[in-house]
């Protein structure tokens, strides 16, 4: 799927070029939201949206409405459904506007039918779901037999929607906040750019999958950004069996909902000294290898850890790599310092957005 993402990163760079050429600052929040939604459309739904050229396409309008309900009714429904999902299920109350659900269901159905009718295949997430739907073989490795071919069209559509829900706001905020910290810390930006320039020179200027994989310091920048601004500020997990906390008399009973305050853990000065400081060196390969796995959990941890971890890294990083190779990122006066985060958002969403100026580097 890497080539799909890189093509969209190239479109994002071309879009940034137009802002530089016109002398305007770039709304990085909108920039990364469009970039991420474009990737979700391509990889998740198998459609080319051209969002940088046509931000008012129905895919974008419905996608944004999915995350930001347009009326008070749907805003309240979404909030209540989060806290009482079982009640909503029993009463069969819709949590999402039917027009949104119908649009994405029809889009997936039409795309699947076209691929099957024309024997067309594409290396994306949707193709994997189609194969699960069509394959009625049984994988009986070891003792774990996984029955395939039991996906209905509703299952396929539901998983594409889940892909969008899990991957949109998280990746969009991770990328724009990393850009914010790079602009706020020029010495970090210079070091990241030096690595990008050096690695791309090794690969003849081509940002291949292997090339971006070698950008260790860029990974450290993303990691530190996700420490300060975790894509999900907290996680919820339900206890599946009675558990006694080690070295204590505290028992967590089966069925108990456990709240994990990820942002509080990652900003704990006993774990990360001077937590407000942006310091990618905390995540050097040597230090990261010694780190307790539950001290840094932007993707969760354990058997329900985020499946999109690798794509999330590539997504957040690739647009930054393209930009750093060509431009210096400078804070616009509209960007608040220190950054304010929307109190109502589960993700670390910048309140007021991230605005940056682009200064072209000398050849």
CA distance readout (Å), 281 to 153, 216, 224, 331, 338 = 46, 11, 8, 23, 21
The DSSP string of 71-119 is SHHHHHHHHHHHH-HHHHHHHT--SS-HHHHHHHHHHHHHHHHHHHHTT
Domain ranges of the chain: 1-231+307-360
Closest CA to 283 of 230, 215, 213, 223: 223
Q: Measure the CA–CA gap between 108 and 224, rounded to whole angstroms.
A: 36
Contacts of 282 (CB under 8 A, 6+ apart): 220, 223, 224, 227, 272
189 strand-pairing partners:
none
Q: Which CATH superfamily is domain 1-231+307-360 in?
A: Cytochrome P450 (1.10.630.10)
Element holding 154 (H helix, E strand):
helix 153-184
Report whether 239 belongs to an annotated binding site.
no
Residue 132's CB is within 10 A of a number of other CB atoms, namely 16
What region, left, alpha or beta, does residue 260 occupy, with left being phi > 0 and alpha being psi -120 to 50 degrees? beta
State pLDDT tens for residues 6-33: 999 999 999 999 999 999 999 999 999 9
pLDDT for the residue numbered 253 = 96
How far apart CA 230 and CA 227 sit, in angstroms, is 6
CA 226 to CA 348: how far, in whole Å? 9
Place of tokens 């509080």: 264
Comparing C-alpha atoms, which of 16, 101, 130, 82 is closest to residue 358? 16
Comparing CA positions, the residue from 141, 175, 168 lying closest to residue 12 is 175
pLDDT value at position 147?
52
Range picked from 36-50, 81-95, 116-130, 258-272 for highest mean pLDDT:
258-272
User: Which of the residue ranges 41-50, 195-204, 229-238, 337-346 has the most confident prediction, judged by mean pLDDT?
Assistant: 195-204
pLDDT at position 107 is 93
> What integer is the mean pLDDT of 196-225?
95
What is the arithmetic mean of pLDDT over 103-128?
A: 91
Q: Which segments within the chain are labelled E, that is strand?
A: 26-27, 138-139, 146-147, 235-238, 243-244, 251-252, 257-260, 327-331, 355-360
Dihedrals phi, psi of 304, to nearest 5 degrees: -105, 25
Residue 138 has pLDDT above 50, yes or no: no
Give residue-wise pLDDT tens across range 158-177: 999 888 888 888 888 899 99
Burial of 285 (0-12, 13-18, 19+ CB in 10 A): exposed
pLDDT higher than 80, residue 356? yes
pLDDT tens digits for 211-239? Answer: 999 999 999 999 999 999 998 888 888 99
Q: Examine the pLDDT at 46 and tell me if it is beyond 60.
A: yes
Distance separating alpha carbons of residues 361 and 330, to the nearest angstrom: 12
Question: Which pLDDT belongs to residue 265?
Answer: 96
Cα dihedral sign, 267-270-272-273: positive
CA 334 to chain centre: 24
Q: Identify the helix (H) or strand (E) that includes residue 217.
A: helix 216-228
C-alpha angle with apex 360: 355 to 363, nearest 5 degrees?
A: 160
């Amino acid at each position: 799927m890497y080539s799909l993402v890189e093509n969209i990163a190239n479109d994002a760079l071309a879009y940034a070029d137009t802002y530089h050429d016109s002398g305007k600052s770039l709304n990085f929040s909108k920039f990364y939201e469009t970039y991420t939604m474009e990737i979700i459309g391509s990889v998740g739904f198998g459609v080319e949206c051209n969002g940088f050229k046509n931000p008012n396409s129905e895919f974008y309008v419905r996608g944004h409405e999915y995350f930001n309900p347009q009326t008070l009714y749907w805003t309240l429904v979404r909030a209540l459904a989060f806290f009482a999902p079982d009640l909503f299920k029993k009463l069969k109350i819709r949590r999402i506007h039917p027009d949104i659900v119908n649009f994405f269901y029809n889009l997936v159905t039409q795309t699947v039918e076209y691929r099957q009718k024309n024997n067309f295949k594409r290396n994306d997430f949707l193709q994997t779901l189609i194969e699960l739907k069509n394959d009625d073989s049984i994988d009986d490795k070891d003792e774990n037999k996984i029955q395939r071919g039991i996906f209905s069209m509703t299952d396929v559509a539901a998983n594409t929607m889940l892909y969008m829900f899990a991957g949109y706001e998280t990746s969009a905020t991770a990328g724009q906040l990393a850009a914010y910290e790079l602009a706020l810390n020029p010495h970090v930006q210079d070091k990241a750019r030096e690595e990008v320039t050096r690695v791309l020179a090794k690969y003849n200027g081509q940002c291949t999958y292997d090339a971006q994989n070698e950008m260790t310091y860029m990974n450290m920048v993303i990691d530190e950004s996700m420490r300060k601004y975790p894509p999900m500020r907290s996680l919820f997990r339900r206890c599946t069996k009675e558990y006694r906390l080690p070295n204590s008399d505290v028992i967590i009973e089966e069925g108990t909902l456990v709240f994990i305050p990820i942002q509080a853990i990652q900003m704990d000065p006993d774990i990360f000294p001077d937590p407000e400081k942006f310091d990618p060196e905390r995540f050097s390969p040597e230090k990261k290898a010694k780190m307790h796995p539950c001290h840094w959990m932007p993707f969760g941890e354990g058997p329900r850890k985020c499946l999109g971890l690798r794509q999330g890294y590539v997504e957040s990083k690739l647009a930054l790599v393209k930009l750093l190779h060509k431009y210096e990122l400078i804070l616009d006066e509209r960007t608040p310092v220190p950054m304010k985060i929307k109190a109502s958002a589960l993700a670390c969403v910048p309140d007021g957005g991230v605005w940056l100026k682009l200064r072209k580097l000398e050849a």
